[in-house]
Chains A and B, each alone.
Chain A
Amino acid sequence: MRDLTGLTIAQLQTGLRAREFSAREVAGEYGAAVEAARGLNAYLVETPELALAAADAADAALASGTAGPLAGVPLGIKDLFAVEGVPTTAGSRILEGFRPPYESTVTARLRADGAGVLGKLNMDEFAMGSSNETSAYGPVLSPWRSRGSNEALTPGGSSGGSAAAVAANIAAGATGTDTGGSIRQPAAFVGIVGVKPTYGRCSRWGVVAFASSLDQAGPMARDVRDAAILLQSMAGFDPKDSTSLDAPMPDLEAALTGDLRGLRIGIPKEYRVDAMPPAIDALWTRGAEMARDAGAQVVEVSLPHTKYALPAYYIIAPAEASSNLARYDGVRFGQRVQPFGGTLADMYEATRAAGFGREVKRRIMIGTYVLSAGYYDAYYLQAQKVRALIARDFERAWEQCDLLLTPTAPSAAFALGDKSADPIAMYLNDVFTVPSSLAGLPAISVPGGVDQAGLPLGLQVIGRPLDEAGVLNAGFALERAAGFGAKADRWW
Chain B
Amino acid sequence: MSVDAPTVRKIARLARLRLDEGEVEPLAGELTHIMGWIEQLGEVDVTGVEPMTAVMPIALRWREDAVTDGEQADKVLANAPDARHGFFAVPKVIE
Contacts and interface: CB of A to CB of B under 8 A. Distances in A.
B18 interface: yes
Interface in B18-37: 18-19, 27, 30-31, 33-35, 37
Nearest to B57: A465
A326 B41 CA distance: 27
Interface stretch (A39-47, A167-175, A382-390, A483-491): A382-390
Question: How large, as a class, is the contact surface on chain A?
Answer: 35 or more
Nearest to A347: B91
- Taking residues whose C-beta sits less than 8 angstroms from the other chain, chain B's interface range is 35 or more
B32 to A, nearest CB: 11
B17 A361 contact: yes
A352 B42 contact: no
B82 interface: yes
B54 A386 contact: no
Q: Is the interface of A mostly helix, strand, loop or mixed?
A: helix
B49 interface: yes
A332 B79 contact: yes
Nearest to B80: A332
Given A372-B11, A378-B42, A365 B27 contact: yes
A382 B46 contact: yes
Nearest to A335: B81
Contacts, number: 159
A349 B81 contact: no
Contacts of A388: 49-52
B79 A381 contact: no
Interface string B36-79: 01111110101001111111101011010000000010011011
A329 B52 contact: no
Nearest to A102: B75
A391 interface: yes
Query: Which one of B3, B37, B72 has the highest number of Cβ atoms from chain A below 10 Å of its Cβ?
Result: B37
A440 B58 CA distance: 13
Contacts of A383: 41
Interface of A: 97-101, 198-200, 213, 239, 242-243, 245, 305, 307-308, 311-312, 314-315, 322, 326, 329-336, 338, 342-350, 352-353, 356, 361-362, 364-366, 368-369, 372, 378-379, 381-389, 391, 423-424, 438-440, 465
A-B CB proximity, top 8 nearest: A440-B55, A384-B51, A336-B81, A349-B18, A333-B79, A388-B52, A385-B46, A353-B18
30 contacts: A98-B79, A200-B56, A213-B54, A242-B60, A245-B58, A308-B40, A308-B41, A314-B38, A329-B16, A332-B79, A332-B80, A334-B81, A344-B91, A346-B18, A350-B18, A352-B16, A353-B17, A353-B18, A353-B19, A365-B12, A365-B31, A368-B11, A368-B14, A369-B31, A384-B51, A385-B46, A388-B50, A388-B52, A389-B49, A440-B56
